Structure 1
Amino acid sequence: MADPRPATPTDLPLIIVAIATCLALVVFTAPLTTLDAMTDALGLSPGAQAWIMSGMPLGAACGLLTAGALGDTLGRRRTFVAGLWLTAASSVAAALSVNGLMLIVMRVVQGLGSAGIMACGLGLLGQVYDGQARRRAAAVWAAALGAGVAVGPLIASGLLAVSGWTATHWAVAAVSAALAVMAMSRLPESDRTGDRVDIGGSVLLIAGLACLMSALIEVRVGSTGLVTALLIGAVVLLGLFWRIERRTGNPILALELFRYPDFSGATLAAFASGAGVLALMSMVPTALVRGMGQSPMSAAVILLAWSGVTVVAALASGRLPERLTPRQRVIGAIAGCGVGQALMLAAGTGTSWAVVLPGLLIAGVSNGILNASLGHEAVQTVPPERAAMGSAANNTARYLGSALGIALISVLIAQKSGAGTDFFDAWHAAVIASTAFSVLGVLAMLVVSRPRGVVR
């Protein structure tokens, strides 16, 4: 559970990083309840709507490793603050958007700003706190992830009723700017290597991931030829990136990190959690609205049984028995997520929304523990000077996994456009597919990572 003590000066770094992390997830989830209003205001096509939903995670996935390298090379506080300012500026521009294209571009830039926040936030906590305090900080950071997912749709919905869809962007801009000012004076700067940033690798990675994630998005709304071309471009660009990273002296992703079994296991587990539990839970509101006739606001409230519990579980994860190693926690948490996902098979034609509660609750507890454990592993399984890179790689894997999972589930659901039996046939296929990713995550941890000692 959370420490009941009042905030002290030593808690300020944790407070700043936690709020900024929560804000990044608010940006990610805001369109869940404001997309219809944006569509009406800007005349968005179905393709534009898909891009607005996916633009922020696209920018985040493309920018995380580059932001991690910038943090290790130029300073984590500098990169973290730059991410906040970029989020503030792009949010102002998003609020002023006059057409769909401008809003899509700003959603991508919001993702790039969030990349700076998430890539360096956990690394900053790793250098400020140690021992039990570091574990507590990692738990709070993980709770902030869940809190953003939980409150984002509710905040956006409330502001929508008061001042329209632009209100969320104005609020994000104001909070981001305030956090940037606080961070400059309250967060310590990390040691800087002074090496040159791998610009070539950054460009290739961003372009390659952009092609890959664009292909995933366009599967729903684009042509076969376009999707094929994007996939070929992704393979070529990422292949060139891999080749350059093996030769450069200061890579944005040190490939030798994958020689550490624990790092490889944590990265695969993050990918599995994104493609598994995060992707499925992101689509639960769709099942509630389209399959059960719930209102969007009701669906957002019901989803709190997962996202809200995730926050509590992440904070309480510090009370788990000390004899449990991080590896054991990750394996158990992913398995628990899989159980919660499988229980979503209970949803069907004529069932009440209450049938999804057991799955949401079990997945929420497991996901909270998983977030805290993966956050700890992302920093602990790499050398100290690569802390930001380790955190960035972990988050990149999570975003790529969620993009893949959401695209897969969306395609399965889109094959059945009606409600009733047809919809839930597709939903059950989506549940099975996402649960399979969690099973693969457990297997990856068992095979790739290796047992270690008790958590210290």
Structure 2
Amino acid sequence: MDTTSPRTSPAAGITDGLPNPERLLAFLAIAIALTMAVLDSAIVNVALPVMARELQVDPATTVWAVNAYQLAITVSLLPLASLGDSLGYRRIYWAGLLVFTLSSLGCALAGSFPMLIAARVLQGFGAAGIMSVNIALVRFIYPSKLLGRGVGNTALVVAISSAAGPTVAAAILSVASWSWLFLINVPLGIFALIVAARTLPDTPRSARRLDGWSVGLNALTFGLLITGIDALSTGSFTYPFIAIAGAVVAGFVFVRYQLSLAMPLLPLDLLRLPVFALSMMTSICSFATQALATLALPFYFHDELGRSVAETGMLMTPWPLAIAVAAPIAGRLADRFSPGLLGGLGLATLSGGLALVAMLPDNPSTADIIWRLTICGLGFGLFQSPNNKAIITSAPPERSGGASGMQSSARLVGQSLGAAMAAVLFGLVSGSPTTIILWLGACLSLIGCVTSSLRILRGGRPSGR
């Protein structure tokens, strides 16, 4: 176990990572908070029918228990990341975790649907505080020579949490009411708050200040974009068109305004860095690919192959489990090899895996499905850790919050785009559109492979701080 003293960066006056056991405890605090935030993005889906019955609302309205949480995260990621740059990432993380824990208690005690939605909005703001700076904090928890390992461990936490979400929800609901989906966060949150207060490192701070117009335009742009994309799944195109058009107009005004600021909320200066911009493009393509597949495959397994709900859930498991295996290994490799090379290989593997799934025979065996999805998960896992490391290390240390916020925003935008494309194809293609969706995902993954590989030409090599 490494117990050597951390090195100090003369420029920033900040230590190069933490020694053990502080490093292990600090990452534990990050992991617990991230696990709760990721789980709460998924477990509520399973409980929607129960919530609709007990709170006496129709199923369509109950979906806002999910949408309110996601929307709050989306509109507040960049503002909270910017605050992290100026106030310190530890403060934003701790405040976000505190809000998340208290609002989880509020969700559990909600006696009406409007109270639940209000608590879910607050919970989303808290989750954004966690997500906006988690990678930025990892940059200062791990020494530069081990940063890839830290990013890989973070990807491992996300993968396991994503895979466990439906199972955890089903297990809780089998023995308790839906309120326990939120109550379980309270003791975990209190423990993580105590550990974080004792172990999270100080980080550099910039002189930037949060601008109210920037916050408003950011919320309008991303709020309209995400709600418009999500509304495509309803089959109506009137509101989605109006919302997306409004997002384009608001986004244009937002970008023009940001260009006039010395320290913009939207880090356009980071997008001028070729490695950072290419990494963002790669991230959007990859998460859109994953969203396409994870939305289409359950329908394929259940409706076309006639598998039960339990079997469908089990068949979806190899993908995230393979990510959990590959991500830590890829993180270690990212400390030695170019992220462009590793990301390109990963997305090429993902593309090949999706093509193999699209070419499954009419009545495939379970084993035939599992090994193909395992290839997909291994490819995504090989891409994710190096790409996240490239995003965070291509920015200056004092801009780590902005880079971390952009990384999370790229993930959400990619997932929303993938979900929208899947919804449109389900509505337009008669019969089964699954094969078309999978081939589209394979093509998007190849585009991500190209943008990732271009980083090799731009000098995207392993770096530390």
Taking structure 1 as the reference length, the TM-score comes to: 0.90
Matches within 5 A, 1:321-332: 324-332=337-345
Q: Which residue of 2 aligns with 1:450?
A: 457
Q: Which residue of 2 aligns with 1:119?
A: 132
Aligned equivalents of 1:89, 1:313: Cα separation in 2: 35
Q: Does the CA-based 8 Å contact 1:283-1:406 persist in structure 2?
A: no
Deviation string 1:345-372 (CA, Å, 9 cap, x unpaired) is: 1457544444421231011111222221
1:189 aligned counterpart, secondary structure:
coil
Q: Does the CA-based 8 Å contact 2:322-2:377 persist in structure 1?
A: yes
Correspondent of 2:448 among 434, 438, 441: 441
Q: Which residue of 2 aligns with 1:216?
A: 229
Aligned equivalents of 2:119, 2:371: Cα separation in 1: 38
**2:155 maps to 1:142:** yes
Between the two proteins, the alignment pairs up a number of residues equal to 446
For residue 16 of structure 1, what is the amino acid of its counterpart? A
Matches within 5 A, 1:34-73: 34-73=47-86
Correspondent of 1:371 among 381, 384, 396: 384
**2:87 maps to 1:74:** yes
State the Cα distance separating 1:165 from its structure 2 match: 2.1
Deviation string 1:143-168 (CA, Å, 9 cap, x unpaired) is: 11111101111111110111022211
Matches within 5 A, 1:221-370: 221=234, 223-320=236-333, 324-347=337-360, 350-370=363-383
Q: Does the CA-based 8 Å contact 1:197-1:250 persist in structure 2?
A: no
State the Cα distance separating 1:277 from its structure 2 match: 1.9
Deviation string 1:173-226 (CA, Å, 9 cap, x unpaired) is: 332233123212221232333432122212211121111111112122274332
State the Cα distance separating 1:100 from its structure 2 match: 4.4
Aligned equivalents of 1:269, 1:321: Cα separation in 2: 16
Gaps of 5+ in 1: none
State the Cα distance separating 1:453 from its structure 2 match: 6.5
Distance 1:131 1:342, change over 3 A: same
State the Cα distance separating 1:114 from its structure 2 match: 1.7
State the Cα distance separating 1:297 from its structure 2 match: 3.6
1:197 aligned counterpart, secondary structure:
coil
Q: Does the CA-based 8 Å contact 1:157-1:297 persist in structure 2?
A: no
**2:32 maps to 1:19:** yes
Distance 1:61 1:335, change over 3 A: farther
Q: Does the CA-based 8 Å contact 1:266-1:445 persist in structure 2?
A: yes
Q: Does the CA-based 8 Å contact 2:29-2:196 persist in structure 1?
A: yes
Aligned equivalents of 1:453, 1:235: Cα separation in 2: 31
For residue 392 of structure 1, what is the amino acid of its counterpart? G
**2:434 maps to 1:427:** yes
Segment of structure 1 superposing worse, 283-292 or 193-202: 283-292
**2:83 maps to 1:86:** no
State the Cα distance separating 1:321 from its structure 2 match: 8.4
Aligned equivalents of 2:121, 2:302: Cα separation in 1: 27
Segment of structure 1 superposing worse, 66-75 or 27-36: 27-36
Correspondent of 1:156 among 145, 169, 180: 169
Distance 1:455 1:449, change over 3 A: closer
For residue 379 of structure 1, what is the amino acid of its counterpart? I
Aligned equivalents of 2:334, 2:66: Cα separation in 1: 39
Aligned equivalents of 2:246, 2:433: Cα separation in 1: 31
Aligned equivalents of 1:165, 1:286: Cα separation in 2: 26
For residue 67 of structure 1, what is the amino acid of its counterpart? L
Aligned equivalents of 2:21, 2:296: Cα separation in 1: 39
Aligned equivalents of 1:451, 1:10: Cα separation in 2: 32
**2:385 maps to 1:390:** no
For residue 205 of structure 1, what is the amino acid of its counterpart? N
2:262 aligned counterpart, secondary structure:
coil
**2:194 maps to 1:181:** yes
State the Cα distance separating 1:113 from its structure 2 match: 1.9
Q: Does the CA-based 8 Å contact 1:67-1:115 persist in structure 2?
A: yes
Distance 1:453 1:289, change over 3 A: closer
Q: Does the CA-based 8 Å contact 1:261-1:450 persist in structure 2?
A: no
Distance 1:274 1:110, change over 3 A: farther
1:30 aligned counterpart, secondary structure:
helix
Aligned equivalents of 1:54, 1:146: Cα separation in 2: 21
**2:49 maps to 1:31:** no
Distance 1:395 1:297, change over 3 A: same
Aligned equivalents of 2:123, 2:305: Cα separation in 1: 33
Aligned equivalents of 1:119, 1:376: Cα separation in 2: 15
Q: Does the CA-based 8 Å contact 1:61-1:399 persist in structure 2?
A: yes
Distance 1:88 1:319, change over 3 A: closer
Alignment RMSD (CA, Å): 2.6
For residue 437 of structure 1, what is the amino acid of its counterpart? L
Taking structure 2 as the reference length, the TM-score comes to: 0.88
1:196 aligned counterpart, secondary structure:
coil
Correspondent of 1:406 among 393, 400, 419: 419
For residue 140 of structure 1, what is the amino acid of its counterpart? N
Q: Which residue of 1 aligns with 2:216?
A: 203
Aligned equivalents of 2:268, 2:323: Cα separation in 1: 32
Determine what percentage of the aligned residue pairs are the same residue. 26
